[in-house]
Every structure is written in structure tokens, then in C-alpha cells.
Structure 1
């Protein structure tokens, strides 16, 4: 069986994702194609099929602004916004542009019921704070309720921002905003959803949507910008919200309260506030339907449609306030019954303003009074010709009637500071506003419909409250105009710098211009070249439309000195259907992927599956695992796997293995330390050269993986769970996609590397039995930590593994020395114990020289020890006793060397070493027997270590006796050589060879064997003694003491 991994790249869905992919192995190299190019082609292809995953929607957006002037109970009049109430139709040119017949019928019905609406006098007479001031029985003249898809209300001064306590408050009090929010939600149709809110001191922005529209809203972000005291406090500034509608359209709503005042610098301060709001407003990055976010947030200028509402505080400039109040109240008086109290107050105010005007005229010294032309406009009541004397056929249109409200407003608007600043390009460049057909919204006496400020300050009426909007098309058009003007200016400067002669030549060229010959044929394409006049191309490339239906003030709202202002927009947008877009995206990605892959290298990696009859492989193994599965792995066990790398593409492919990503403690390089790789390129020879190879289409090569854990420190790390038997190989395909090839196996814990304190806790059946009893052992695919812990009960006085190993080594030594003469001719084949001191533990004496065969035997011995089976059962049937003995001896040395803390621990050796040094310096040296007794007393402080020490030294003493006895029996002449020959002592390191030998030959040979064994075992049994920074001489002396210490128990 085999598993296949193809290099077909998966197209990414955004530049952000592409960056992430390229930052890791597996990403496409930058040299192939810029990621943005790939993304653009994908986006363009998806966009070209937009009609398949979008549906057009038409909604109405109602935008309102109101400065509540901190009047208590003003929130009770919130119905003006939702239901379109409080409009004085006689004081505005109310035209709702709606083609719906049902809407027209409803409007006609509303107007027919106006006769039932409460009169102005009665409405003003019942004015009380904290009560609704809307006229009773008002049917509402603007679309509202469920006809509106999106409600936006911008409020200012919901708290007293002129109060130092509020203006300098370090936080925004949300309780007042919550009152407005509750009132708003109480009047909205059932099912309308809250979208966003943002409050900054007295400014509050509320957005609600119908259920259908709310489902299309994503990426809502709100923010605030303070421009008040010190340029940052929140008594002035703006609260702003950004929403993405239908995944296609960015809408931004700004609710601002700009600097007040009529002094010389006030206009510039308002312009500055506007600039700060525009430049400092930043929203959260937008997340698309696939969860990918922008790197940075956007601002107001990035909106497809932006609405800027609020108390902008721009005033009427260059015209006396008395003139304006008198003219406007000549119109508002028509709303009153002049015989009643409220009507008489209006007449009184008109007379008061007229008297002020007359006094100003008397003080003039010139006939050119400089009075604005609007001061001479007369009301119908001041004309000599009365209304009833005018024949209906001769009645003038409002545009032509000098006494009409339209004419009065038209004469005032040229003095509007906002229009002047726009014209001068100092603020609100590119923004547009609906026709102003309503009275100035500021400043009125609270509780009145049409009485302008009658206080001592007598502030001049102004259109302070405004609703402006700007489309992306408006902004681009404005920027294009500025760019063209700058280019024209630059050319003019160049002409001037070139002198009159050059200018004359240019003039001649101007007269010689032929449109057919000289026109720029190439031109530059603009996204609006093919778009209808009312169409806006959004940033995402969709065509939306917007039109103003109504722009009107609510003159009959009495609860503030500002009149609320509304605008209703008809809005058409394309809404993405996420399921359809995802489907189209996948289809397009597959098509692009296929086309792209035809020109890319395409490599397939086939992982050969292990045979089910292989040791360590079972039917429970993860057959769906697509990587290299090694199955169960134990110490020194050999595992072999192979990969086939084939070029299955249509172009040559250059491949090579690269350094894989590693974590802390992992071995760096192309492969983990427990796996080796070699390549067979078809010649039959394996090579360790992992450099680049180029495969032609159809060519392939094999990768051979070898696993054998021989490093005991690595085995210890697997035992303890420090390392995991999970890793990867990374095959790089130049100009293609990298392949990640997982490596996995299940580590079988070994007794190798454990301390005596843990080994004595292993029960009969071995450590493997203990591992399989662990609850999660069947689920582990790597290594979850040792099966032995301090809570496991102690089973033995010394490790059972030591008992078994020392016993079998003693038995085989006796057998081998006894049968050698029966199986061999000693005269021609001298036994190894006669030729090498230290047999069977020194490598020079071993019969088997084949490393692979020796490693296989080590694996078998470890398995017998860990599963508690007889050693004979794991050895091949044809192996000799001496080969068994030598393999067990090799394993025994390795077992002791790997043992954590050793037989003689560092702490115990520190005491022993100090005593040995003291004895060396003593003038009365102790006998060998006294030294052994002293050493055993120190060793007995760790009983299990002491017993283990005695087991090993007893075994070694027995081996020395058996070998000397065998030499004495078979070649007694050898023992006459004193000291033993150098060839016999070659197994002893030069610096550890004895200098003083016994005079008796037999005893000298015993000393030689003992010294060889002590030199072999001291490093495996004793820990400590060599410290960092020690001199070589000190280290050599320490090793000599360890050897002599072991010799105490061997000779």
C-alpha cells in the first residue's frame, strides 16, 4: 500500500494569507510571481462573476441630526425621527421623491389628516420640560417606520458641555445616552436591530437597521475624535461609525459638533476641527468573508459613501442679525393666530427687530447703508397689494415671488459660512448637500415654533445643523480637479519661465490645434467612463446608487433651541450572498490553480507502506496516516522505509531536502537524529549526498530511511517523554510547492537509562508490561513519559535486570572457558581470554566484528530484558555460546553506562574519593581488607546501590578466577611471564597500566585481568569525580583512584 502527496498548490484568498504562507516552508518562492499578482488575478476572476453571487437591494436610509442643548426630557420627542413628525409644511418646501404609488397614497392620506393636527398655539401653550412637545395627532409627513432600512441619528449636547464638570470629565457618562437609546428602541418597529453606538461627552451616534439589512452588515467599527479644549477634549469633535454593507459597500457616518462662536477666528477653528476629524479618525481593519483582515485600518476618505452630520456651527456672515430675525419671523408669523398670545409675541418680536433696524438707519452717515438686500424684502403683510387682491392666474411662482420664503432663503444662503468655506476649498471639499428649503435651525426660544432668540444676546439665526454626504465618486472627482488645476498651474509657470518668445510659439500652436489630429488618442481609462451619472463604483468594484429624497427641518419640535434635521436617501447596493461567493471563489481558484500548475513543477511523493508481518506493525496502525509510519520502535531495533519522489508534471523539477523547522531541544538539520537518509538515483548505489537533483518529466528517485536508536542518551529522552517520535522531512521543489513528509512511530520504553531507584520498582514481566498497563499507552504515538514514577512500589532490593545479566554472564563464562578445548585446538586457536585482558568486556576480544549483526543482538537482548523473557529465546539458534556471552557483555557495559546516577552515585563517590586521597597522604596506610570494610560502610548508605555494586564486583571476581583457572589448566607456561606481555595488556589505556607487578606470575596475570576489567568498568559504574576546569593531571589522578577502588574488590 502507498499514500500519495501531490504538489498541486492551493490558491490563497488574500495577500495577507500569501504573506503568511511564504513565511513558512511550503510557500511558493517569490521569484515565481509576486503574491499580489496571484491575488489580483484571483480577485479579478471572482469579480468578473459577481453577478452570480450578488443580488441588488434597494433601501431607504434616514439620517438625522439634532442638538438637544441639554434640555431635560428632549429624548421624549424621538418620534420625530422615526415617524417623521413635527414638520411645519408651510415653512419648508417638502418634496419626497418616491416613485412608489403606495407611498404617494399614504402621503396623501397623511396630508388629508393634517386638519386634525394640534395647532401651533395649543402646542406651545402646553410646552413643559420633560414632556413630549410634538403636536398631537401628527400623522408624520416623512417616510418612517418599516419603510426605512437604516436609521442613523446624530445627537449633540445630550449633556451640558458648557459645564466644566462635564467638559473635563475623564470619562463619558453612559447613563444619559442609555435614556436616548431606550426611547429610540421603544419607537422603532419590532424586529429592528441595534447596529452601533458611540458617545463622546455630549455627542451620541445611534444606528439601527431592519432585520433584512442587519443581516448584510459586517465589520462595524466606531471611534471618537476630541477637538475641544487643548485640541483634544471631548466637548467638541466627532463620533464616527463605519459599517460594511453586503460585503461590497463601505458606509461611514460622522456625527460632529464643531467649534462655536462668531468672532473673527471662529470660522478657521471650525475648519480646523473638520480637518482633525478627517485626519484622526481611524477604524479597525476590515475582515472579509474568509476571516482575513487588512494590515491597517481605514479612514473616512476610504468610504464609498460618507455622511457628515451634526451641529457644524457655521453662521450667516456679513448680515445684521436683526434683519434676519425680522425677515424670517414675517414668515413664521403665518403659522400663528395673531389674535392669541403666541401670535402677539411674534408681532412684538418683529416690531422689536424693526425698531432696531430703524435706529441703525438713523445712525448712518451715508446713503449707501450697506444693509443687505434681504432687509428690504417685504412680507405679504407689508405689501400694498393684499393676497386677496391677486388673481389666481396672476399668482407668482415661489421662485419669482420676492415675498416668498424661497426668495428669502435664497437671499440669505450666499452669506452661509459653510458654503463660503466650501467654495474657498478650506473645508468639506467634495461634499454635497441637499437644497436648503427650510428655515435656519438655530437659534429659537425653547417652546416656540417660530420665535428666534428673544434673549438679551439675540443671536442671529443660522443653519448650524447640517447633513452632508460624499460618495467615492465625488471624492475622486474633486481630487482629479485639483490635480488638473495643479498641472495647469505648473504648465503656466513653465511658460512664464520660458519667456515671451516661447509663449508666443505656444499661442501659435494653440491656433493651429486640430482636434482630429492633435487629440490624445490613448487617454486614460477612468472607472466612471462607462458608469451612469448617478452610479458610484465602490472600492470593491461594485456599482451602487444613491439619491436624496428629502431634506427637511422639524420646525414644530419645541424641546430645544435647535430644530432637528432629517435627510432621506434612496440607496441601491449589491449584497453578496456568502454561500454563492464561496462556491464561485472555489471554482475560480481551482481553474486558476489548474492553469498555474501546468507551468509549475509538479512532484509526487509516494510513501511505501510497511508490511503487516513486520515486527512492530499491527492492524491497529493508522492506515490513513500519509507520512512515514515506523510502528513500534525499541532500542537498537532496525527499521527501514523508502520514499519515491517522481516528477509527475510537464516541466523539469529541481528538488532537494531542506532543514526542517525545529523547536527548542530538537536536532537541527534535514532529518531528526534518529533517522538517516540516503538516496538511490537508479544506479543501485546509496548516496548520502542530499544536494539538488533535477528530474525530467517522468523521472524518479528513491529515498531510503534508516532508523536505529543506539544513542542511550536519546533513548533516555524518549523514555522520559522529553523527545517525541514525531517529526517531518521537508522536500523543496524549486518554483513549486514544498512537501511536508511526517515521520511517526511509537516508542517502546526500555530499562536502559533508568536509575536504580526506578529499576527496583519494575515488576516481573519487565518495564514493557508496566508501560502497557498505563491507561493512555494505546493512544500514544510517540512518548508520553516513563511508566515508572515514585509512586510505583519497590519490588526488589537491587534491579532485577542486574540479577539476570550478572547471572547469565557468569554462567556463560564458565561454560565457554570449559568447552573451548573441546571445540577448538588451543595450540592453533588460543582462546580470547589468553590474548586480551578484560575479556569478554573489551571490544578487541570480541569474536563478532560485524556492527550490524552486533546491533541486532543488542536489540534482542534489550527486548528480552524489557519483556522479561529468557535471553536464549531472542538469540538466533545458530549462534555460539561465546558470541552470546560477548553480546551480553557489550550490552552490560552499555546498560551500566546509560544508568542514571550510576552504581556509585556522585554524592557517594565524593565521600569515597575524599577518603582515598586521605589514605594516600596517610603515613599508616590501611590494608586492602580494611579499605573494603570502610568503603562498604559508605556504600551501605544507599542499600540498593550497595547490593548492585556487590553483584557486579562479585561477577567480575568470578570471571577473573575462571579465566586464570582456564589459563592455568590449558597453558600454565603463560603464567611464567611476569609481568604479562604487552599484547595481553593492550586493552588497558596506557595511562592506567600498572607499574608495580606481583612477583608471582599467576598473581601478576590476575592483576592484569583485574586492571583491565577495572579500567573498563570504572566509567560505567562510578559517577562524578571530574569537575569543569580541572587540570589534565588532576583528572588522570582521579581516574587512577577509581580504578584502584574497583581493584579492591577484584583482587
Structure 2
């Protein structure tokens, strides 16, 4: 390590005091600016001068307790990845083979030789996580590098650089050759060091560090944070926060920790920067303006409501036995902790950890609900605005006897074990998602207040109902980590307009480091980002400048339309032709949005007014500026404000010389009629948009997309012939004519998953127990749920399309949903997909010919005033339906599913204290006009009757096909509809549930 690396921030340290404001190499008064029009044109071509790069970021945190000699261990655990006890480790830890494990120093030998002059990690240990050259950025956060309990240290008006020098010397000696110190900051006992590899260091820009003291008097540095902001590749902002929050296990200390975190977030400010696109940012940034943030350190959150001795006894079961040889020879070192053998028989059948009540997995899961940090996140009091944490699969990191591997505090104080040391992270996407949810809650609250101000009571039909005691419950936004699911990279849109990929690879503690009363921990993240290549950017800059200069010499309005040919990383890769001169949307399926961007630049020297005009169309396309499957959204308002939309032909936009306007083209096929034409091959997704410039030339923008066949709009007789693998497997060929299913497999899959997901939604509600929270228990106030539900978030607009995609490809439904979506929302989407599928059946479940026979019989009996009993009427109906066996089987399957869902809802309500106790307290009936006095006096039976009536009304609309409806009077239509509802309701009711 060069000598100047350790002194990179000496000037900062000399001037830094507790609570100081930012220091960096960038002067706030020297921020370059460029002409906006050139900047936007350059930005439009950013894909040409950026290249993807990968970097692993290792974040380490350790409270060193102000002890001497602890710096000897830093290289072994932080750089080399050693000191991990695999049997007690966390995510991403590799198990050693038998030979390596046997060569490792035993626990007793390790503890016996422990001194302050040599590393305490086991000799002959190996790396269990990513280490050395595999890491591009090493980020080390230390707490208590000095004794912060000392009044001399806590009130010191300056920071002693010798402390940081000692640590930097040890880290530099352990790092591979070529690593450089790129950022450092110290605040009394807090120290933050960031090192970059030779390959990453040239891409680190705009470094700014700062500190915030929250200790004595809310300002001093015995508690607080040191923070650094760096920009990778001129495109990706990273923020690292190393903090030490208030200690103590009482409620006041907990509230002070939350206050500390809030102060750090609000008071941290970095220097202003010029981002990758040379756009002057102006004022300095704070926490929340970055693309990726990492908050780590001794957060001091404890285990609430559990005696320390009880926790210690639970955990000691696992710590005293992880060295077999020592377990036979060493006695306990405290009353309830030590090393004693409890090995199972070698012939015993291994039990999965999640099923073994004695496993470490089970013990940790039993303690985590008591973790104060998670509780405060759920309550919305701290770290709730998008912050996440990897799965905790390691023992609490505090408080151990110094010099012992697994002995919890055996001193007189006997402090309770806790996960005080944590590493949290947050992406721009997760923070944005939190902000949207908060905005929705606030809007709902305001609308509720407005309605109440108008005199509407709770019994009225209120669309927005806000309860401050339940709405916005942060429990709804917290999801436990799914250990059964392999981690997938998260796609994160950045502030600079790129899409990065982010993945947590490992998260663990180093149990075999014994020089402090805290165990160090680290997390390794993999980041894929786009980096600006300076030489390419310079060439593009010159090219764009020359083109703008040429256009400025022309007097007529002139615009240039640039198509962004890059495919969004949110989409599946498809076969797009990079040589196509228009907009290629690639493979398109029902209900799945495809987005492409175009940039329109005024490359003349006079204002240019433009708009889309009538395009060439075929007989299957209506006239207009845009085809029905396309939406175009400009980033600016049109020239004249009117009631017109961006789809009107008279909508025009004016660009000043060298100005640009970005537009998003969104293709989405969600019309059943369009799906039918595309399936039949009588229509296509090829078109041409015409951009007309006033007094200039027209620009033609070709559009094309490749339609993926869908099972929608196909008859039951065709669907039952589609083989396993779905319609996509046929690759455009017709089925071989062999009947493979008694019921269309797509309908069977939808009904099966709908039953299962309904059960999960009810079970989740039963576990959460939020009484009166109507937002999460719609069946309590909506008798048509889940087939009639509230409007869904626009962020999930493609979910139904994803479900249909899974049916078409015969694939699992998992990829159709965001990872955070709850079973209730999934149930509603599956219900919507089922109704859509039935609605688009050309011949319906009950075909036109079947209905004509049914209606003829019903009409005859009505005229003769003949009334069959219920069983005879069902038998008569089934005899008619039996003439079309597959339609009959489909009808009975749907009836069975609706009965089961009704039964689940009714049974779930029995144990719910908020369930209606009288028939007058039943849920609303959104789809069927029901006279309450006609319902049973028994609430549970009345509830079933009400649900059946609503379900029958909903499904009568989608299952029956009747001729001549367009010529019928409204009264006759209502009579026909009631007959259809009667048929469905006839089969739904049964004697078993008391509704016969």
C-alpha cells in the first residue's frame, strides 16, 4: 500500500469534530456546468458510452470494546474470511471438507493461546466467505476503537489520527497488493474505512464523508455515525453509514436509539456532485438520495421481553457442543454455559433444521420475534422506510466473555445475549416503494376525512375508510426471508437512469474471533452497474456537438428521433433485431407491458412544433394516431391545455432549439378481441407512427412485435386438446386432435391455485389477528370477495398477464408476482384471471345451444306455473348439460370450487370476534340486490346464502352465452340474467352447509 493511501484524509481528521459537516476533495464552488440541450442529447446516447461492470462489496462491522490488540484480528476475519464457525454461521457460508476441518485449531487450544499480541482466530483456518481479490470494495465499520466511556475521550474537541493510523496499518498489511484507501472518517470511537481494488479504484468518484454526533446533549460523538458517499462509474451512488446507537435495555434507551437513527438520517449531508450525465445537482445530497445504502454498526437493539438467563440457556445448548473433542474434556465455564457433549447417534436419520425443535435454526427463529429492531421496523418507528436485512442464521453477537468462543457474559451483570451488531441495506427501488405506499395511505386518509366532513357515516357506502389505529400498519409491509427460495438479483433503477442488479451473497458472524465481547460480522453484496467509459463518452460528446452545430445552420424546423434499442433488464430476453430501424418490442404476450423509449430532439435553430398524425392502417385497425394496443406518454405537457389526451391528433408539442423530449411507448395487448385476431393470424402488431413537424418533414417510426399465442379466446373443445407444456409448446402448430383433458387444464390450474391461495389468505389473516382491519379482511365487508375486490396498484398492472403467461407456457405461477405480494392480493389476481379466462371463452361454459334448451324449459314451467323441487331441477339441468360432457365437467368444477371457497370463508369467520353475530350485520352485497329479511336468521347460514348469491351473479355473467341479447329490452335482459343466476345458485346451495 502506498504511503499516501493512509494520509488521504489527514486534513479531514484534523478539522473534524463531533457532528461535523461534509469534507471531500470537491469544492462546492467549483461545479462544472454544460448547456442543457447538449446534455440531453448526450444523455439520450448514454448506452453508447457505458459498459456493465461487476463489483463485490464486503461490509464489515465490529465493536472492539476499546480493548488493546484487537486490531491484530482484522486481517484474518475481514480480509481473509476466517474465524467462522460453520455450524453456527449464516447465509452464504461454505462448509469445509473433513480434512480441512480436522486441521483447524481446536477451541480449547485457541482460547488457551489467546494474547493481545497475535491474531486470535484459529490456526490453519480457511476462508468460508468471499475474500481477498474476490472483493472489489472493502468497507470496514468499527465502534469503540477508543474507550467512549472515558469523559476525556467523549469530550475531546478533536479526533486523534493515531488511532485510525493503527487500524489502517493493519488493514493495509492484510489487503492484496494494489488496494487503495478511498474514504475514511472517524468520530471519537467510530471509524469508517473504505478500500478499492486496482480494477475498481479508477471508477470511484465524488467521494464525500461526514459525521453526526448524537451522544451527550444530542451532539457529542460518543454516539452517532460516520458516513461516506461515493459514486461508482459516474452512474451509481453508494452511501455507507457506520453508527453506534444508544445502549441500554429499558424502554427509554430503545426510544433514544430510534431518535439517534432519525437524527443521523436527517442531519447527514454530502457535498454536491455533478452526476454521470453532467447535470448540475445544485445542493448537497443526504441519506435517501443514493441508489444503494448500507447502514451497519452496533445498533444496540436487544431482545425484548425475555430474561437474559433464559436466552443464555437456549443458546448455550448450541455453543457448548460445536467442538467434539473439547466437549469431552472441558467443563462449563459459567453456571449455564460451556462445552458439553450432546451429539446424536451416528445412525440417526438427519432431521431438516426447520423441522428439528432442537436445531439452531429453530432456536434463532424463536428469538427473532423478540428482536427490537424488527419490532421497531414493523411499528414504523425506525428503519422502516425501505431498509432490509439478510436472513439471520447466526447466534447473537453480544455479549461474550473476552477470550471465549461461545461463552456468554458470565460476569456479575450477566447481560442478555442480543443481536446488537447489524448490517442493513436499502435500494432506491425499495425506498421508492415505501414512499408510494405512504402516499397512498395519506391520500386514503384525506379522502376519508373529506367524506366524514360531508356527513357520511360509517354505515354509508364509503369508498375510503381510514382507521389510524390499524391502517398503515407496518406489519403489512414486512416480509420474513424465504429460506426455501434461492436468492435472485434485485433490479434497481438508479438516479442516473440505469438499471443495476443487486444481490446479497452472504451474511454471517465470526464466532472464532475472541478478542472482544462482540463478535464481528460481515455481509458480501454483488453489484452489477453501468460505468461511464471516459474515452467513449468524449467521442460521443464530440459527435453530438458536431451534429448540433450542423443543425444550427439550418433555418427550417428539424427534429431528430432517436430510438433506444436497449431492452429493459426487467423484461425477459427475446429475439429483437438490433439492425431494425424502428421500435422492436420483441416477444409480446397478453397483459404483459412492453416499454421502449424514444427521444425527440430539436436539431434545428428555430422552435419546432410536432405531433403524431393519422397513420396507415388496415381493416382490423381503427383510424387514429396510435394503434389500440399502444400508449405514448411524453415527459412534458402539450402546447395547449385541453381535455384531449396524448392520443388525440391535435396534440402538439413545441421544442426550442437543441431541446429534447423523451417519450415512452408502452405496448400492452389487453383486449380479448385483439387477442382473438392475433391468435387467428388475421392481425399483427406491426404498424407505423407518423411524426409531423410543422413546416418540416415527416418522420416515420416503424413498430413491430412478435405475438406469442395465448389460450385466451379459444373454445373449450380446443383447449382440451392442448398437450402438456401449454400452447406455446405447439410453436404455432395446431393440436393433433386428440382429447387430452376432461376439463381445460388452464381452468383446472386456475381453480386449484385459487382454492389454495384463498386458504393461505385466510390462514395469514388468522395468524395476524388484526381485528377490524377491513383492508386486510375484505371478506368481512364484501360478500363477493375475491371475485370483486378493490382497485389494485398500478405497479402490479402486469400480474394478470403474468398469470396468463404461466398458463400459456404451462409453468409455475411464482414469476407472475412480486416477491413481497401477500396471499390476499394473489388470491384477488387469480380470481380476476379466472373470470377473464371464462369471459373470453367464445362458446362459454354454458353454450348458446345449451342455454336455449335450459331457457325453453324454464319458460315453459313459468307459463304453466309448474315448479320442480330442487333435486328434480338439478337433475333436469344436468341431463341437458350432459349432452356436452366437457362443458358439463367444467361447470361442475367451477361450482365445486365456489362451494369450497365459500366454506373456507364461513369457517374462518367462526373464530373471528369481528364476524357478524346477526343477519343484519352481514357484509355488503356488491353484485346482488338481496333483501336481508329473506336470509336465514342463523348468521353463518345467512353469510353463505349471501356469498352464494353474489358468486352466482358474478359467474352468470361469464359462463353463459345467450343469443339476441342486443335486441332485447332491458326488462327482458334482467329476467334472463335472473334465470342464469338461478341456475348457478341452484348448484351452489346444498344441504350439507344448511343452505339447501
Say which one has the larger Rg: 1
